[in-house]
Amino acid sequence: MKKNVMLIALMMVSAFIFAQRKANHGKPHHDKKGHGRAEYLKKELLLTDEQYAKVKSINAAFAKQFMTIRKDTALSQGKAQTLAKKIRNERQAQLKSVLTEPQWARLNEIKRRGHAYRRGDGDQRPSQGGRPGRGDARPDHEERG
């Protein structure tokens, strides 16, 4: 009986702890829309403080517009995609006006690498084929005899 009471108490405390963790989990992220991407670009593109502020503002506005489209259930999928593409193009134009030519070229290189990685043909991603040591020949190691 005593074990059952302790077990129930432990389960209730665990549920309370996990509920608190989940309730607080996304709040800081929503307060800083566009902030994380701007921080990344500041580091990668060596943005000035003025450029950083503009990029951060552009990203925050983009995130807000994009969320509006996502939440609008009255839009058809095609219409939502068209609007999202328009917003992305506007964001690109705004970013291009803020960045220098070398920064713009670097941003496009970063995007190209990201697209290649997601498609699976980038240098960063390991092959999805056979794995060495699982029956495949390993050309970089000689057979032991």
What's the token pair of residue 59?
A: 């990203």
Q: H/E element holding 29?
A: helix 27-31
Is the CB of residue 107 less than 8 Å from the CB of residue 95? yes
Q: pLDDT of the chain along its 145 residues, tens only?
A: 778 887 787 777 777 676 665 555 555 444 444 567 778 888 888 989 999 999 989 988 999 998 988 888 888 888 989 999 999 999 999 999 999 999 999 999 988 887 777 777 655 545 455 445 444 444 554 555 4
CA dist 134 and 80 (Å) reads 46
Residue 63 DSSP one-character state: H
